[in-house]
Structure 1
Amino acid sequence: MNEQELFSQIPMRTWRWLGVNDIKEPAGLAGEPHRHQIVAQPGADDEVTLELRESGRHEVQAHVGKGARLHLTALQLAAEDVPVTCRIKVLVDEGGLFSYTGVEAGASETAAELTVHLAGDDARADVWSFYFGDGDRKLDLNYIIRQSGKRTDANMQVRGALLGKSVKNFRGTLDFIEGAKGSVGRENEEVMLLSDGVRNRSVPIMLSHEDDVDGHHAVAVGKMDEEKLFYLMSRGLDLAEARRLVVEAAFHPVLDRIPEAKYREEIEAYLTRRLLANG
């Protein structure tokens, strides 16, 4: 497989020198993709959890029928020395709700794409995700919500933390298609930089071919709150433990959405180990 093969790209290209237009597929991938197909029948209320623990390519196709609800949880917890790609494509019909909880915490190099199409009137998407990078890890993420139905509602909330010399690119796009009258969309990314050597790129994009829409996007990038750290250390915690508590508090709005306690506990233990190892 050619190391430079294109994996994903943003809907509207920007200056090439920024280096965010395209996502290249990581080197070292082999074999056929692991494919998953999910269908929420009209009126259904379904929950699906995917554990992405293997190296390689993962592809998910999901369809949310009329008036249905689908909560998809995708946990990328692959071994720390292997590359992973994950492509999720979702179609939401009239009155349907697609709820997504994503975790990008494993693998040496991650390329991930999430594309949600709110095709039906009154369709909704509620997307929450977090990523964690440490060491020399690379994360390349591209989330897109297209809104073509009338009165659609999109919410994209992403949290992240970067340590060591990790590199992360996140692209988040709200795309209002002509005819999406009365639709609303919100996009927000919050990034915590825990080391001076990290490299972060955040690219919020909002596209609109329709006047009667309401869209908002924002990015907050910053270092850890020194006052919080001082307070926690004054209570007897060392720096590594204090930092762990602050990071976990930032991730909890996403973790709390994971339906099964065993996964929440596993992820918390996994993050604790890596935060303390980098302390």
Structure 2
Amino acid sequence: MSTQLSTPVNRQSVEALSHSKGEPAWLEALRAKGAELAETLEWPKPEKIRIDRWNLTALGNYKQEDAIASVDELPESVRELLGNASAGLLVQRNSSNILKQLSPELQAKGVIFTDLETAAREHSDLVEKHLFQAVAQDENKLIALHSALWNGGIFLYVPKNVEVELPLQALMYNDDSTATFAPHVLLIADNHSRVTYVDNVTTAYTEAGQPLAKQMVVEVFVKPGAHVRYATIHNMADNIIDLTIRRAVVENDARVEWIVGDLNDGHVLSDTQSILRGKGSSSDAKAITVGRNAQQMSLTTGAVHIGRSSESNMVTRAVMKDKATAIINGITKIEKGATKANGVQTEKVLMLSPKARGDANPILLIDEDDVKAGHAASVGQVNVEQVYYLMSRGITKKNAERLIIHGFLAPVVSEIPIEAVREQLQHLLERKLEG
């Protein structure tokens, strides 16, 4: 099945696609509204980067892929990204899900782990209540378009008091640059539950593809007392523009942890935010990126404190080489009434080329007096004294610089919760740094 979805997207085309997939009426109406909103809203306007000059309308066509029976049918380059996925695994290829696995033990506990399109039909009340509630459909043109076009996607629901001990994994890959690639992740952790979720977003081309704008939106709802750990690695080819928005709504005494690896070769818009709505809620976000060639990247990490005694910590590490540009924003917003809140952020950029550009912008927006907030930001080159010290111990200059760079990135790399994924991230770092 192939349905044209090139811009301009209109109400009739998305309604027809939704109807052909047997989606519920409320979802068809939501998609139609998104198409209408996209006609009037503007693109996001991140600081110092004109993303409206990117090829944002290269949306491709919706293409239904055939299901597979096991991971053995996946391309080798994709299959090697998987670790032990015994708890659960979802795979999306281009516009649709092709593989679903969930252990019988977790099924018996009421855990739901399936593609979002299926969840919208089979768990309609739960999906309708949360979809586009963390991310507003009318926020900007990008979100509106995504609400009209999203496909495949991930749905994870963990019931009250259930602890999922092993990580659940998702693999989303594009091997056809003419296919729409717009996954949506909806994760709901009910009261006092606990879960670790890891996804890989990648390309698997045998040859270079045509330009494609990949849209991805992540919504995480962390109910009172719950704990969600969300790790993600994006590694897409240079013909892909990666547009990813992540939001978490965190309730009383709940916690969300983000581990983000943006290792794409093309332009990137990455925006990760925790909305600390509940009393005693907390967020920890760690992000890493390496820019090379003529990449342009807008990377934002944020925390909005609404609940009293809420806490946030944000750490970003970026390495820039060649002519790459990265604008890195850390935004801590403490609302009126969020007494005893504590927000800390650190952004560090390591420059490996005089032609590269890295801006670190810590931003504190505070509307309450009885709070704590702090920030640190630095942009610099590899420390010459550290290089000389290592060389005095018999290490070559090249290897000394390599060790320093890996030590600089270690605070994020070490947090990846699956060994195979952690090794993949290290491999990607080597490729980008050496390439």
The 1-side partners of 2:248 and 2:52 are apart by 22
Which letter does structure 1 place at the counterpart of 2:297?
Answer: L
- For 2:59, the equivalent position in structure 1 comes to 30
From the superposition, tell whether residues 25 and 217 of structure 1 become closer, same or farther in structure 2 (CA, over 3 Å): farther
Q: Is the 8 A contact 2:269 2:297 kept in 1?
A: yes
CA deviations 1:48-93 (Å, max 9, x no partner) are 0121215611111110010000000011111233211110011000
Which letter does structure 2 place at the counterpart of 1:26?
Answer: W
Unmatched 5+ stretches in structure 2: 1-6, 9-40, 61-148, 150-181, 204-211
Query: Which runs of structure 2 are paired with 1:129-144 in the superposition (5 Å)?
Result: 129-144=287-302
- For 1:224, the equivalent position in structure 2 comes to 382
SS at match of 1:197: coil
Superposed CA RMSD? 2.1
The 2-side partners of 1:179 and 1:117 are apart by 14
- For 1:6, the equivalent position in structure 2 comes to 43
Corresponding residue pairs, total: 267
Answering whether residue 272 of structure 2 is matched by residue 243 of structure 1, we say no
Answering whether residue 188 of structure 2 is matched by residue 39 of structure 1, we say yes
Q: Is the 8 A contact 2:285 2:314 kept in 1?
A: yes
- For 2:419, the equivalent position in structure 1 comes to 261
**2:242 aligned residue (84, 93, 110):** 84
The 2-side partners of 1:274 and 1:220 are apart by 22
The 2-side partners of 1:61 and 1:8 are apart by 21
- For 1:14, the equivalent position in structure 2 comes to none
CA deviations 1:178-227 (Å, max 9, x no partner) are 11011110011111111101112222110011111111111011110112
1:236 positional shift:
4.5
Which letter does structure 2 place at the counterpart of 1:99?
Answer: E
The 1-side partners of 2:260 and 2:427 are apart by 17
Greater Cα shift, 53-62 or 172-181: 53-62
1:5 positional shift:
5.3
The 2-side partners of 1:106 and 1:235 are apart by 35
1:267 positional shift:
1.5
- For 1:168, the equivalent position in structure 2 comes to 326
Which letter does structure 2 place at the counterpart of 1:58?
Answer: M
Q: Tell me the percent identity.
A: 22
SS at match of 1:150: coil
CA deviations 1:227-275 (Å, max 9, x no partner) are 2222333444444332221111111111111011111111212211232
- For 2:270, the equivalent position in structure 1 comes to 112
Unmatched 5+ stretches in structure 1: 11-18
The 1-side partners of 2:266 and 2:382 are apart by 24
The 2-side partners of 1:208 and 1:185 are apart by 10
Q: TM-score, normalised by structure 1?
A: 0.89
Q: TM-score, normalised by structure 2?
A: 0.58
Q: Is the 8 A contact 1:140 1:169 kept in 2?
A: yes
Greater strand percent: which structure?
1
Which letter does structure 2 place at the counterpart of 1:160?
Answer: A
- For 1:93, the equivalent position in structure 2 comes to 251
Which letter does structure 2 place at the counterpart of 1:67?
Answer: G
Greater Cα shift, 238-247 or 116-125: 238-247
Structure having the higher Rg: 2
Answering whether residue 338 of structure 2 is matched by residue 180 of structure 1, we say yes
1:103 positional shift:
0.6
Which letter does structure 1 place at the counterpart of 2:333?
Answer: D
- For 1:123, the equivalent position in structure 2 comes to 281
Q: Is the 8 A contact 1:25 1:85 kept in 2?
A: no
The 2-side partners of 1:46 and 1:8 are apart by 34
CA deviations 1:76-113 (Å, max 9, x no partner) are 11123321111001100000000111111113100111
From the superposition, tell whether residues 26 and 47 of structure 1 become closer, same or farther in structure 2 (CA, over 3 Å): farther
**1:214 aligned residue (361, 372, 377):** 372
Greater helix percent: which structure?
2
- For 2:223, the equivalent position in structure 1 comes to 65
Answering whether residue 79 of structure 2 is matched by residue 51 of structure 1, we say no
